[in-house]
């Protein structure tokens, strides 16, 4: 019997139009009624999760979401932090030194804001911030390192061909110092070393006295791999790249073909 459904959002819960299909909502409600706890696990900041969580119309008591690729876990009753890992001053200074050598813009999330370090947000950053229902705000390096803000994951954003060159030049170096992942063609993400969706899910499961065998995780992208491998059942979406599918225990339909609903039906409701 699964006790937790760990669910990625973009490319998984959401279809290509960034909407939650009604079939997914209905299946999630059936899973919850069967005693399964939903835990959204996403690279989005909290501000990009709340509107979708409200669409699910679930009870907000004693429920949780994992955001910023595992950097922060919030309880939905008041959206307060229950656990987090943040970037240090030294790490932010280092990331800034990398950004100054590239055309990529360096962005950082705090609890509520989508921040751009030291520059006016460009069109790509403004577009990406819009996807999570917010506008980017410029922050100085001094403010970012004064210790007054909890700063979670950082992202380098650039056009795909520019980010290809960025990853070739700095990917190995960044991966040695951070949990780093190319989550999308135009986004390269860096979290504190050891932080992934899986690390946050592990800590939450321990808090809830749930074993990995009692977790089903569903995802589609590189930043879902550790979570799929950690869960007792890791399900890749049909739209996931082949290397993600090969690491999963099972493959469901795509996010545009109600793949989450199919996974819930096949592996939770038919248990």
- What share of the chain in percent tops pLDDT 90? 96
The answer to whether residue 180 scores a pLDDT higher than 90 is: yes
CB atoms within 10 A of CB 264: 30
Report the alpha-carbon distance of residue 48 to residue 63 in Å, rounded. Answer: 17
Architecture of domain 89-192: 2-Layer Sandwich (3.30)
Calculate the alpha carbon distances from 87 to 11, 100, 153 in Å: 27, 18, 7
What tokens were used for 213? Answer: 């065998």
What mean pLDDT do residues 57-72 have?
90
- With a cut of 80, say whether residue 62 has pLDDT above it: no
> Residue 56: what pLDDT?
95
- The arrangement of strands across the sheet holding 105-109 comes to 137-139, 114-117, 105-109, 154-157, 187-192, 178-184
HSE-up of 255 (CA within 13 Å, CB side)?
A: 22
pTM: 0.95
Is a pLDDT exceeding 90 seen at residue 60?
Answer: no
For all residues of the chain together, what is the average pLDDT? Answer: 96
* Domain definitions of the chain by residue range: 4-84+195-269, 89-192
The Cα diameter of the chain in Å comes to 55
Write down the pLDDT at residue 59: 79
Cβ neighbours around 151 below 10 Å, total? 24
CB atoms within 10 A of CB 270: 7
User: Would 4-84+195-269 and 89-192 be classified into the same CATH topology?
Assistant: no
- Helices vs strands, H then E, count in the chain: 10, 14
**Which class is 4-84+195-269 in CATH?**
alpha beta
Give kind and range of the element (H or E) at residue 109.
strand 105-109
pLDDT of residue 239: 98
* Alpha-carbon span 24 to 259, nearest angstrom: 8
Query: Shortest CA distance to 18 belongs to which of 58, 60, 51, 63?
Result: 51
């Amino acid at each position: 019997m699964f006790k937790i459904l760990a669910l990625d959002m973009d490319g998984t819960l959401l279809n290509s139009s960034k909407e939650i299909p009604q079939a997914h909502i209905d299946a999630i409600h059936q899973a919850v009624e069967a005693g399964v706890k939903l835990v959204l696990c996403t690279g989005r900041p909290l501000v990009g999760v709340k509107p979708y969580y409200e669409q699910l119309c679930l009870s907000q008591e004693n429920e949780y979401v994992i955001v910023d690729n595992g950097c922060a876990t919030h309880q939905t009753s008041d959206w307060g932090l229950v656990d987090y890992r943040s970037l240090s001053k030294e790490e932010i200074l280092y990331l800034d030194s990398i950004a100054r050598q590239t055309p990529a813009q360096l962005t950082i999330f705090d609890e509520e804001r989508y921040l751009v370090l030291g520059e006016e947000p460009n069109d790509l950053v403004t577009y990406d911030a819009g996807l999570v229902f917010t506008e980017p705000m410029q922050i100085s390096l001094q403010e970012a390192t004064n210790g007054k803000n909890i700063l979670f994951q950082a992202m380098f954003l650039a056009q795909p061909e520019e980010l290809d060159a960025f990853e070739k030049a700095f990917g190995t170096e960044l991966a040695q110092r951070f949990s780093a992942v190319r989550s999308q063609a135009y986004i390269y993400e860096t979290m504190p070393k050891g932080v992934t969706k899986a690390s946050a899910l592990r800590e939450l499961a321990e808090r809830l006295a749930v074993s990995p065998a009692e977790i089903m995780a569903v995802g589609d992208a590189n930043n879902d791999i550790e979570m799929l491998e950690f869960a007792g059942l890791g399900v890749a979406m049909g739209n996931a790249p082949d290397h993600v599918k090969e690491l999963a225990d099972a493959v469901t339909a795509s996010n545009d073909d109600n793949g989450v609903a199919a996974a819930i039906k096949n592996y939770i409701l038919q248990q």
